[in-house]
């Protein structure tokens, strides 16, 4: 029905964005990719999952830091690409994985700049899930077992890291309305409510196709 629509989901830490994506995929009977992207990228490139997991949604550190840490291949890159920081090489591999997945049909992809990577594809619905800080803190403690005294800090730092990653690899701004087609406060309508709202938007998108405002 949704014409091979690919749903990308950006999210604040603790907003339940991943859960929204999982629920959405289940309701629509389509594949769901979050951490699964790490295993897929590792499989396709032959590199270790640990390498991808370590770089997951992190922007490249400064060249100086990379040099000190020894992960800036100066002459001949171990991955076959020279003069490029490791995280950038891993990002390019993940780009290929995401583009390949999108080609196979409708699916849900969480984070990892998927909206930007698929910017030239038609039929992509870009969503951002956020929530009140209070409810994110509560969720971080309950779901991720974060220490209650550190929970707020963990939420804010995780968001900062996601924003850095997104803003580094794209020409858009993480968390700005105009970056997405639809953004929702999950603390107002819950996980299920968000999934239903996204499905309704997908239907409206198909009906309205190309007619403008």
If the CB atoms of residues 23 and 87 are measured against a copy of itself, the closer one turns out to be 23
User: Are β-strands 124-130 and 107-110 bridged in parallel, bridged antiparallel, or unpaired?
Assistant: unpaired
52, 90, 116, 144, 152 from 45: Cα distances, Å:
10, 9, 21, 30, 37
Phi, psi values for residue 59, rounded to 5° = -75, 155
Give residues in contact with a copy of itself (CB under 8 A): 12, 15-16, 128, 130-131, 135-136, 138-139, 175-178, 180-191, 193, 196-197, 200-201, 204-205, 207-208, 211-213
Both tokens assigned to 148: 């209650």
Give the nearest distance from C-beta 177 to a copy of itself in angstroms. Answer: 4
Give the nearest distance from C-beta 35 to a copy of itself in angstroms. Answer: 20
Give the nearest distance from C-beta 212 to a copy of itself in angstroms. Answer: 5
If the CB atoms of residues 51 and 194 are measured against a copy of itself, the closer one turns out to be 194
Q: Are 19 and 125 in contact (CB under 8 A)?
A: no
If the CB atoms of residues 45 and 187 are measured against a copy of itself, the closer one turns out to be 187
If the CB atoms of residues 77 and 193 are measured against a copy of itself, the closer one turns out to be 193
Give the nearest distance from C-beta 34 to a copy of itself in angstroms. Answer: 17
Using alpha carbons, select from 35, 33, 56, 81 the residue that is nearest to residue 166: 56
If the CB atoms of residues 97 and 181 are measured against a copy of itself, the closer one turns out to be 181
If the CB atoms of residues 73 and 175 are measured against a copy of itself, the closer one turns out to be 175
Return the number of other C-beta atoms located less than 10 Å from residue 203's C-beta.
13
Return the number of other C-beta atoms located less than 10 Å from residue 180's C-beta.
20
Using alpha carbons, select from 135, 126, 127 the residue that is nearest to residue 194: 127
83, 87, 93, 148 from 79: Cα distances, Å:
11, 11, 10, 41
Task: Give dist(CA 94, CA 181) in Å, integer.
Answer: 23
Give the nearest distance from C-beta 15 to a copy of itself in angstroms. Answer: 7
Give the nearest distance from C-beta 159 to a copy of itself in angstroms. Answer: 9
């Amino acid at each position: 029905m949704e014409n091979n629509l690919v749903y990308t989901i950006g999210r604040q830490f603790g907003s339940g964005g991943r859960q929204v994506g999982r629920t959405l995929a289940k309701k629509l009977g389509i594949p769901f990719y979050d951490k699964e992207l790490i295993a897929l990228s590792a499989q396709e490139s032959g590199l270790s999952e640990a390498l991808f997991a370590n770089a997951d949604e992190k922007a490249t550190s400064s060249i100086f830091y990379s040099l000190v840490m020894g992960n800036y291949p100066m002459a001949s890159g171990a991955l076959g690409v020279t003069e490029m920081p490791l995280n950038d090489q891993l990002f390019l591999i993940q780009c290929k994985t995401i583009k390949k997945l999108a080609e196979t049909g409708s699916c849900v992809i969480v984070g990892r700049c998927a909206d930007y990577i698929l910017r030239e594809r038609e039929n992509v619905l870009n969503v951002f899930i956020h929530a009140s800080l209070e409810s994110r803190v509560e969720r971080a403690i309950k779901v991720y077992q974060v220490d209650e005294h550190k929970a707020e800090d963990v939420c804010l730092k995780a968001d900062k890291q996601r924003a850095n990653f997104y803003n580094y690899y794209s020409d858009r701004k993480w968390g700005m309305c105009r970056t997405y087609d639809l953004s929702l406060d999950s603390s107002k309508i819950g996980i299920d409510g968000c999934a239903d709202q996204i499905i309704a938007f997908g239907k409206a998108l198909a009906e309205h196709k190309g007619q403008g405002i």
